[in-house]
Amino acid sequence: MPDDLGKRAAAGAGAARTRAIGRGRLSRRGVLHERSGSGGGARIFSRGVKVWVKICGITRLEDALVALESGADAIGLNFAPSSRRYCPPDEAARIVAGLPAGCQVFGVFVRASRHHIERTIGRTGIGGIQFHGEEPVEELAGWDLPVIRAVPVRDRNSVCAAIAEARGYRVLLDHGTGGGSGKRFDERLVAGVDLSEVIVAGGLTPENVADVIRRYRPWGVDTAGGVEREPGLKDASRIREFIERAKTAG
């Protein structure tokens, strides 16, 4: 790990002992603000001029620091035990404690109970929730944190409906088989659909992310497997390349 990243990790760990990191804070480049509606007071997040980028499936502090140093707007920690990128809460807490102040950290949950999510937030200090189990809209309401709702792309009508009904959270479009597949969704199903308020995921890599951004003009992009050596272990050079190409896509 480069010396400057190590120093930042140490500084972040010290600061974490006196504050909760990431909960309801500003992102490094985005702004959190309130929005009324069916979100029940949940926070929705905005970004600057460039596309918002999240590196998901983080399992190690060094990978999180590389992502943030390279310009990522957020990272994701997966709390689904069945995932190859599962991050135990105690390890997640260590990662969050080692990050610089103000980083935006999302926890990924699959059909978890509200009680379980609340306990995980308290144990780890994560600052956002990503629902990735096709949970009903009602379960997305009432959170005082930024919320992402993953929507599998299986047919055009359900995608359009999910985007239209989004209130107080952001929609993330993924492959129809669910997250972590490493597959692109069928582009024909979103042809002509306005994705300017949507996060696009599923099979994104340094090699294709710029083309996806130019084609769909999404609000944000999200990747996990596209920047890995193996599930859960990121490749620093691919992280840097992915973020650079996403941020400079014309």
pLDDT in tens, 190-249: 889 999 999 999 999 999 999 999 999 999 999 999 999 998 899 999 999 999 999 999
Residue 31 has pLDDT above 50, yes or no: no
**Residue 65 CB partners (closer than 8 Å, separation 6+):** 1, 5, 8, 9, 98, 99
Contact 87, 61 (CB under 8 A): no
* Best CA proximity match to 99, nearest among 11, 223, 216: 11
The string of pLDDT tens digits covering residues 110-121 is 999 999 999 999
Instruction: Tell me which fold the domain 52-248 belongs to.
Output: TIM Barrel (3.20.20)
Lowest mean pLDDT among 10-24, 45-59, 139-153, 225-239: 10-24
Contact 213, 246 (CB under 8 A): yes
Going from N- to C-terminal start, the domains of the chain cover 52-248
- How many angstroms separate the CA atoms of 56 and 122, rounded? 20
- Residue 56 falls in the annotated catalytic set: yes
Give the global pTM: 0.82
Q: Which of 63, 73, 103, 174 is catalytic?
A: 174
Task: For 46-70, give one letter per residue: b (16+ CB within 10 A) or e.
Answer: ebeeebbbbbbbbbebbbbbbbbbb
Residue 48 has pLDDT above 90, yes or no: no
Which DSSP symbol is given to 37? Answer: S
Per DSSP, helices labelled H in the chain are: 3-16, 61-69, 89-97, 114-124, 156-164, 209-216, 236-248
> What's the pLDDT score for residue 209?
97
- Residue 174 falls in the annotated catalytic set: yes
Q: How big is the chain, counted in residues? A: 250
> What's the pLDDT score for residue 185?
78
* Best CA proximity match to 20, nearest among 99, 131, 74, 90: 99
Binning pLDDT at 50, 70 and 90, where does residue 104 land? very high
**Residue 194 CB partners (closer than 8 Å, separation 6+):** 163
The string of pLDDT tens digits covering residues 142-193 is 999 999 999 999 999 999 999 999 999 999 999 756 655 667 778 888 889 9
